[in-house]
Amino acid sequence: MKHTILHFFLLLAAVIPLSAGVAAAQQPLGKCATDCHTDIQAVLPKNHMTVEGEDNISSCMQCHLPSSETLKDTRVFSAKVHKKHFGEKKLQCSYCHIIQKGVSFALPGRESIGVPDEQTLGFLPEITAEWAQSPFLSAVHSAKDVACSPCHGVDKLPLLDDKPANNACFACHVSYEQLAAKTPGKDHPTRNPHNSHLGPINCTVCHKAHEVSVNYCLDCHKFDMNPIPAGKQ
Ligand code: HEC
Ligand code: HEC
Ligand code: HEC
Ligand code: HEC
Ligand code: HEC
Ligand code: HEC
């Protein structure tokens, strides 16, 4: 009897991790050389070190460690890799990231950077393609190799309803005072979007990153102001 119970538990122990493993498995990572880059070395920057190892993104991750803890770092490597793969050609995030819906979003050998639900996973390729190439403010940033992290938080997967706080913008754009010094109204210096009776409000009241930006001052005022970047033309 004892023996059968032991047997039962041994069996259970063998079966549970297996079934959990099956439920968790995602499709294998994309094979960069097999699928597209027969000569991977040819698409890397000039004089780049020789890349060896598995035929997927993990061969890059051997050397490209997370580069920074600060929002000021643009994350050039991340920006370059994402721009190339969400321009004309659009890959799935799971081509390079190990994704478990509702559980994790990671790179091989790295910790998870977020917990995406199904809706978010459906939306991310669209917004990443828009960041890579669009008339909106996020694309002004991708052109300068600013990845998602500088605005959304270091190594944090942006989720639906994410709204960066002013501090993220100040990592590069410093302060309201410095901005105001650059943006007095043309003939009327007091018509300054960055120094007004509204005080230091959220940047995102006016600057939208993934859609058309709007100058909130003009909700109430009819006067002329310099046009807002990436706004309605
Ligand atoms: C043997 C180590 C090594 C491997 C493996 C490696 N890289 Fe690099 N890579 C470097 C170094 C060193 C630089 C110089 C830039 C730096 O300071 O990070 C660099 C720079 C780059 C840059 C320029 C952007 C930047 O951060 O300055 C790109 C793009 C890049 N690598 C892509 C890749 C890709 C794609 C892979 C995988 C196919 C890969 N690398 C694998 C070492 C490596
Ligand atoms: C071609 C491979 C590739 C694909 C496809 C890819 N990524 Fe990445 N991703 C990377 C690499 C490489 C890094 C790590 C860069 C680093 O550590 O600097 C990264 C890092 C990230 C980061 C953290 C750094 C940052 O940019 O803020 C986020 C967020 C991210 N990816 C989101 C996505 C999303 C969302 C998708 C799908 C829409 C996606 N990635 C598709 C290769 C890829
Ligand atoms: C990692 C640094 C970095 C962060 C963080 C950052 N930006 Fe920028 N931003 C830039 C760079 C680089 C440019 C391009 C400047 C240039 O071309 O001279 C830019 C340009 C801009 C412009 C001018 C666009 C144009 O077409 O003239 C606006 C507006 C702007 N950023 C707003 C923001 C807002 C709002 C945030 C926060 C949500 C933010 N930025 C976060 C680096 C950053
Ligand atoms: C009330 C609307 C509004 C708010 C809030 C606002 N901006 Fe602006 N921003 C504008 C307008 C309008 C311009 C264009 C002004 C000009 O060219 O004279 C502008 C221009 C800019 C520029 C380009 C400056 C240059 O060198 O020409 C940057 C960068 C910028 N804003 C960043 C920010 C950041 C960061 C915040 C939050 C701390 C912020 N803005 C808050 C309306 C706003
Ligand atoms: C210049 C700063 C900036 C960069 C770079 C940026 N974002 Fe955003 N993101 C924002 C702001 C600001 C919002 C708030 C909504 C808006 O203003 O468009 C936002 C909102 C979002 C949202 C929530 C959208 C919604 O409708 O709920 C997602 C998801 C997102 N960003 C993903 C990304 C991804 C993925 C990247 C990188 C490929 C990225 N963002 C790069 C500033 C940025
Ligand atoms: C919610 C409505 C509202 C918003 C938004 C708003 N204002 Fe005002 N503003 C007023 C009111 C009300 C007055 C006082 C009555 C008047 O003189 O028009 C005023 C007065 C002013 C004045 C002095 C009078 C004048 O017309 O020269 C300036 C300058 C001004 N605002 C600039 C701004 C700027 C710049 C912004 C955006 C950063 C802004 N306002 C956003 C309502 C608003």
Question: Which ligand ends up closest to the CA of 184?
Answer: 4
CB-CB contact of 115 with 97 (8 Å) = no
The mean pLDDT value for 154-167 works out to 95
Q: Tokens at residue 110, please?
A: 């790295």
| Best residue among 218, 219, 220, 224 to mutate for probing ligand 6, ranked by most atoms within 8 Å of CB | 220
Per-residue pLDDT tens digits for 18-37: 434 444 556 789 999 999 99
Phi, psi of 219 (to 5 degrees): -65, -35
Tell whether ligand 4 has an atom less than 6 A from the beta carbon of residue 141. no
For residue 152, give the nearest of 104, 204, 100, 77 by alpha carbon. 204
Q: 113: pLDDT confidence band, cut at 50, 70 and 90?
A: very high
Q: Tokens at residue 187, please?
A: 């003939």
CB-CB contact of 69 with 46 (8 Å) = no
- For the four alpha carbons of 192, 193, 198 and 201, in that order, the dihedral sign comes to negative
Q: 68: pLDDT confidence band, cut at 50, 70 and 90?
A: confident
CA distance 68 to 88: 29
Q: What pLDDT was estimated at residue 233?
A: 62
Q: 66: pLDDT confidence band, cut at 50, 70 and 90?
A: confident
Per-residue pLDDT tens digits for 181-215: 999 998 999 999 999 999 999 999 999 999 999 99
| Best residue among 221, 224, 225 to mutate for probing ligand 6, ranked by most atoms within 8 Å of CB | 221
Q: Tokens at residue 194, please?
A: 């960055």
